[in-house]
A and B are shown apart, each in its own frame.
Chain A
Amino acid sequence: MKRDGKLKIKNLIPAAVLAVLLTLPYSTLSIPGVFDGAVNTPGSLQLLALCLLFAGLAVGYDLLFGRLGLMSFGHALYVAIGAYSAELAMKDMHLPLATAAVLAIVIGAAVSTLLGAVSLKGVGKLGGENLGTVGFAMVTLAFAQAGSILVGRDPKTTGGEEGLPLSTEKVPAAFVGVVNTVNLYWLALAYLVLVCGVVWWLTGSRVGRVWQAIRDNERRAEVLGLNPFRYQLGAFVLAGTLGAAGGVVHLLVTAGATPETTTTDFTLALLVMVVLGGSGTRWGPVLGGVLYTLLDHRLGAVATSDSVAGLPAVLRIPLSQPLVLLGVLFVLVVYAVPGGLAALPNRVRRLRRGGGAGPRRQRSEQHRLGVVEGEPDRPHPDRVASEL
């Protein structure tokens, strides 16, 4: 009985978080150190919209990394396809935003189907046991790099290093201008809700259990008569499509298609978010996405501040490069907090109970396999929640 009560509270958490996020634009609260002005000012709302967008992108990326154990290094490609296709469709084909967005998402789906099939064919064909992940990583990276080169080498179409400004005349007035930043916030929130809805629903369904079986042991899943390739490709296409949709949102929130969305660093940022928050968990990628975006912006502000400029070179140089700090933070998280921030409450609880040493080994083994959520003797929380 007690357990049932607990689970109901657990089911209320997403609703509570959503309620807070929905009311946030009406808040006049000011959080010094996080936002420059009150929460309802355009500057803060813009940053919040970016946080929600990246949280959504991270959840989509974790569909591959955390749920299927596929280490894709080319996810940026689909975000870039979304942003650039939508912008080009508006600029060159004179389509309205909605049509351009649909077209961009369809292109994202088509490209991810094609490249996913090729990348996954390469998995496991490179020799021994767990080479699959690594081959997949290299191949997806190579494809994404080709996209990045295309954007860089064809400045007439893509704007090269400058990127493309948003064709505002094709976009509904509600999404244009500083006064309408709040609408971009709603849009980003809607995207996050959509991605979480799709990913969480699928991981709780039969498909999610098959994904878990494939992630834990692909060969065993195959012996059971499942076709891992089909499920992996399905997840890859879904992640690519959601990524392309995120690209369209990125285009609107940042008011343009930027070549940064094509770079490997963009994919690596998503990877860092997921690992920081906790891969394969419900809230980890969301948390990681929000935290990383906030950190990235605050560290950028720190870098240009006067107090840093006055420091000796040994401190000034690392502090002036957000990526140095994020890279170091990432390494520290991998070391000190395996399983990410989402695993922290469980770890603290276990330490309090005094059983710190025993399950730890099991845990690291689990983490190696990509399983980071839930305790071994209890059913997967996501699954319990879905079966009720």
Chain B
Amino acid sequence: MSTLVLLTLTGLGLGALYFLIASGLSLIFGLMDVLNFAHGALVTAGAYAAWRLTGHLPFALAVAAAVATGAVLAALIETVLIRPLYSRPKDQILVTVGLGLALPALVQGIWGADARQLQPPRQLAGTVSLLGAKVPTDRFVLIAAALAVLAALKLFLGRTRYGLVVRAGVEDRAMVTALGIDVRRAFTLVFAIGGALAGLAGALGGVYFGSVSPDQGTSLLVFGFVVVVIGGMGRTDGVALAAAAVGLIQQFTNYYAASGLGDFAAVAILAVVLLARGNRDGIQRLIRRTA
């Protein structure tokens, strides 16, 4: 029982991390058709900002600085590099690929290739007893953060004017522009939100893994992609569910099958979902043809 509780909460904690990364990716992709390969670099930037400031500042402020780092970097990338390539979507992706190569290498040049220990504050370092299991406190913090972000995103998209513009832009960018609304400002905003979420994921990822390293962001990005594809582009709820599912399956597979097999399980689910989706389309076409 206690193992089950521990595995579930650890899996959900990992899922929370995936959700933070995937929701930013999915938001940017949904609105702008830009697959942001620099997203992992933003996660790394956030992680290093948190690592540098932990110990000098209260931990909450260090996390806030990580969030700000991600947001500012993302807004800069959008205005300086992405916007001029407005009519060249493929080149927009290529530019983020270049950044995704250069930024982690720069971090490695400054702070070295080795992983750096991130010392979380005392309140986060301990464990909480729950149903006989000793669960590390940071798991709860991660889950709470992901739930807060999910609620905030839903409120932002559903209740605010900008959210409306973003949602409409996802549906039909040309129509929104024709109505005289400046979508470009929404673009910058969405990019900054994505970056802020990446920064938060970086800082919390540092807590979860206990260390930060230059390529941590890029390896997390892969699971961000897996979650986005399973959950569906631009669907916040779907992404949240997929993130939780991937995190749980990964942890349970690692424990009950073999360590390391969990990462495979995540990719295997992706393959199954893709095949099932493809077949569903095929079946629908078949029904239409026979009807």
Is B95 interfacial (CB 8 A cutoff)? yes
Output the least CB separation between B21 and chain A (Å).
13
Which residue on B lies nearest to A127, using beta carbons?
B233
Output the least CB separation between A375 and chain B (Å).
19
The answer to whether A324 and B102 have CB atoms under 8 Å apart is: yes
Is B260 interfacial (CB 8 A cutoff)? yes
Is A275 interfacial (CB 8 A cutoff)? yes
Residues of chain A with a CB closer than 8 A to B155's CB:
none
The answer to whether A149 and B274 have CB atoms under 8 Å apart is: no
- Per the bound structure, the CA–CA distance linking A317 and B106 in Å amounts to 7
Out of A150, A264, A327, A335, name the residue touching B99 (CB < 8 Å).
Answer: A327
Is B132 interfacial (CB 8 A cutoff)? no
Q: Which of B60-68, B82-90, B198-206 contacts A (4 or more CB under 8 A)?
A: B82-90
- Per the bound structure, the CA–CA distance linking A135 and B95 in Å amounts to 18
Q: A125-B274, A368-B87 are in contact. Are A327 and B102 (CB under 8 A)?
A: yes
Is B226 interfacial (CB 8 A cutoff)? yes
Is A106 interfacial (CB 8 A cutoff)? no
Interface size in chain A (residues, C-beta < 8 A): 51
Residues of chain B with a CB closer than 8 A to A291's CB:
none
Interface size in chain B (residues, C-beta < 8 A): 50
**Chain A positions 76-118 with a Cβ under 8 Å from a chain B Cβ:** 118
Q: CB-CB contacts of A343-371 with B at 8 A, as 1s and 0s?
A: 00000000000000000000011011010
- Per the bound structure, the CA–CA distance linking A149 and B268 in Å amounts to 13
- Per the bound structure, the CA–CA distance linking A131 and B90 in Å amounts to 11
Residues of chain B with a CB closer than 8 A to A330's CB:
94, 97-98, 101
Q: CB-CB contacts of A159-195 with B at 8 A, as 1s and 0s?
A: 0000000000000000000000000000000000000
Is B53 interfacial (CB 8 A cutoff)? no
The answer to whether A275 and B222 have CB atoms under 8 Å apart is: no
Residues of chain A with a CB closer than 8 A to B104's CB:
323
Residues of chain B with a CB closer than 8 A to A272's CB:
97-98, 101
Is A7 interfacial (CB 8 A cutoff)? no
Q: Which of A44-52, A140-148, A251-259 contacts B (4 or more CB under 8 A)?
A: A140-148
Residues of chain B with a CB closer than 8 A to A271's CB:
94, 97
Out of A118, A320, A323, A326, name the residue touching B271 (CB < 8 Å).
Answer: A118
Residues of chain B with a CB closer than 8 A to A264's CB:
218, 222
Out of B84, B89, B109, B270, name the residue touching A130 (CB < 8 Å).
Answer: B89
Q: A125-B277, A331-B81 are in contact. Are A275 and B94 (CB under 8 A)?
A: yes
Residues of chain A with a CB closer than 8 A to B219's CB:
145
Which residue on B lies nearest to A149, using beta carbons?
B263
Main secondary structure of the interface of A (DSSP, over half): helix
Output the least CB separation between A118 and chain B (Å).
5
Which residue on A lies nearest to B30, using beta carbons?
A127
Output the least CB separation between A28 and chain B (Å).
37
Output the least CB separation between B214 and chain A (Å).
10
Is A121 interfacial (CB 8 A cutoff)? yes
Output the least CB separation between A159 and chain B (Å).
16
Is A321 interfacial (CB 8 A cutoff)? yes
Is A318 interfacial (CB 8 A cutoff)? yes
Output the least CB separation between B286 and chain A (Å).
16
A–B pairs, 30, beta carbons within 8 Å: A118-B274, A118-B275, A121-B278, A122-B229, A122-B278, A125-B274, A126-B233, A135-B229, A137-B35, A139-B229, A139-B270, A139-B274, A145-B219, A145-B222, A145-B263, A145-B267, A146-B264, A149-B263, A264-B218, A272-B98, A320-B109, A321-B105, A321-B106, A324-B109, A327-B105, A330-B98, A334-B91, A335-B95, A338-B91, A367-B88
Please give me the 5 A-B residue pairs with the lowest Cβ-Cβ distance, nearest first.
Answer: A327-B102, A323-B105, A153-B260, A121-B278, A327-B101
B interface, CB within 8 angstroms of A: 29, 33, 35, 81, 84-85, 87-91, 93-95, 97-106, 108-110, 218-219, 222, 225-226, 228-229, 232-234, 259-260, 263-264, 266-267, 270-271, 274-275, 277-278, 281
Q: 11 other contacts beyond A126-B233, A317-B110, with CB at 8 A cut-off?
A: A122-B278, A125-B277, A137-B93, A318-B106, A327-B105, A330-B101, A331-B95, A334-B85, A364-B87, A367-B90, A368-B89
